[in-house]
Amino acid sequence: MRSEVEASKAVAGPRPDVRRNDGRRRRRQALVACGWVLGAAAFSPRVDAGVPIPKVLNNDHHFGELWINDVVSHTFRIHNAGDGDLELIDALANCPCLKIERFDRRIGPGQTGEILVGLDTSRYVYGRFNYRLTVFTNVPGDPQLELKLGGVLREHIQRGHVDPVTGRVTGVGAGFRRLTSEQTGRMIVPLSNQTDAPATLVLASPAQQGCFYVDLEELEPGMKWRLVVDAKPPYQPYQNEAVVELATNLKEQPIVRVTCTAYVPPRLEFRPYPLVPNPAFAVREVNFFNNGDRPVKVLDITTDDPRVLADIVEKQPGKHYLLRVVMPIGYVPPPQGHRITVRTDDAEEPTLVLPFSSAGAADTTDETAGASAPAPSGG
């Protein structure tokens, strides 16, 4: 039989130091067990969810000959030959004339999805054209699909010069590539009647729109004209744009539009401006130039979206900086966009804002891309 002392110990339970050691041991055992579970989750083989394999059934479409203001569209068909879901994250066109009208976002294994693309022939399209639609997908290692649309656009009143060999058209607008804030420039846009009968052409827009002054001169009655476009200060920073409208007596083309642009960099310049993210790339670079005489130091850079990070590297002290903007793969800003704020030691502009938004919200394509360089004068 146990003594009274032993019996009292049994009733009272183990000593405090024994209880503490036992508690520590149980906690260690729990942590070890937890570690094994976490380790198994981290290092166990991943169950393959399947890989999508996109097959574009018709990735190169040619419309043939079109006339301006024709309404056309084309449906691209994409088949998923893999065993995982194919996700179409986003699509970017290299011309604002392309509009996505229907877009299947998810295509299951063995299924076929569609992308319906409309072509607006009223603007931006001229002569022989070849445009691309880049589709970003979830395919590992090869996330991009290239879809092509081509054709030839004809105009009843032809803008610019037509190359008889290639069919390409240049000089359809007045594109002043880069002017200083004091410079002036002049450009000539030729216009010619491609119909059999003489036509009338008159200026339907104001002779002055912002920094642009226009005058229509008839060279051959009813057949040939030239639009004289002068750019004069004051200018807005970055892009200046106006659309000149000319009225005709042709029901097929009652209005002829000529786009005028002038790029005037500010003293402190972001290039590109605004920033348009590309869903396929996590890093975008923006140059920050000081076009003035005084050196400018960048003090700080911030973004208003926590998913987007930005830093800055000084390339040329006080004159040139490189902004590196890091965003998630597949990142698409909301329609209202976001902003990057740069603080400097400049007395006149201590704070500058670089907006960034989706491609649809920031239409930066220039209709005057085929125009010849301007002939600046003065300044």
The DSSP code sequence of 349-379 is -SEEEEEE--TTTS----GGGGSPPPEEE--
> Tens digit of pLDDT for each residue in 165-188?
888 889 999 999 899 999 999 999
> Tens digit of pLDDT for each residue in 83-93?
999 999 888 88
Phi, psi of 52 (to 5 degrees): -75, 145
Output DSSP code: residue 330. T
Mean of per-residue pLDDT scores for the chain: 83
Locate 336 and state its tokens.
Answer: 């209202």
Q: Which helix (H) or strand (E) holds 24?
A: helix 16-43
| 259 and 368 Cβ atoms separated by less than 8 Å | yes
Alpha-carbon Rg for the chain in angstroms? 32
Which of 30-54 are b and which e, b meaning 16 or more Cβ less than 10 Å from the residue's Cβ? Answer: eeeeeeeeeeeeeeeeeeeeeebeb
Would you write out the chain's pLDDT as a tens digit for each of its 379 residues?
444 444 444 434 444 444 444 544 444 444 333 333 333 333 333 334 689 999 999 889 999 999 999 999 999 999 999 999 999 988 888 898 999 999 999 999 999 999 999 999 988 888 899 999 999 999 998 889 999 999 999 999 999 998 888 888 899 999 998 999 999 999 999 999 999 999 999 999 999 999 999 999 999 999 999 999 999 999 999 999 999 999 999 999 999 999 999 999 999 999 999 888 776 668 889 999 999 999 999 999 999 999 999 999 999 999 999 999 998 877 878 888 899 999 999 999 999 999 987 654 433 333 443 333 334 333 3
> Tens digit of pLDDT for each residue in 24-69?
444 444 433 333 333 333 333 333 468 999 999 988 999 999 999 9
Q: Which helix (H) or strand (E) holds 258?
A: strand 255-264
d(CA 127, CA 105): 33
Peptide bond between residue 234 and the one before it cis (omega within 30 degrees of 0): yes
Locate 338 and state its tokens.
Answer: 């976001």
Q: What is the pLDDT of residue 357?
A: 77
The pTM of this model reads: 0.69
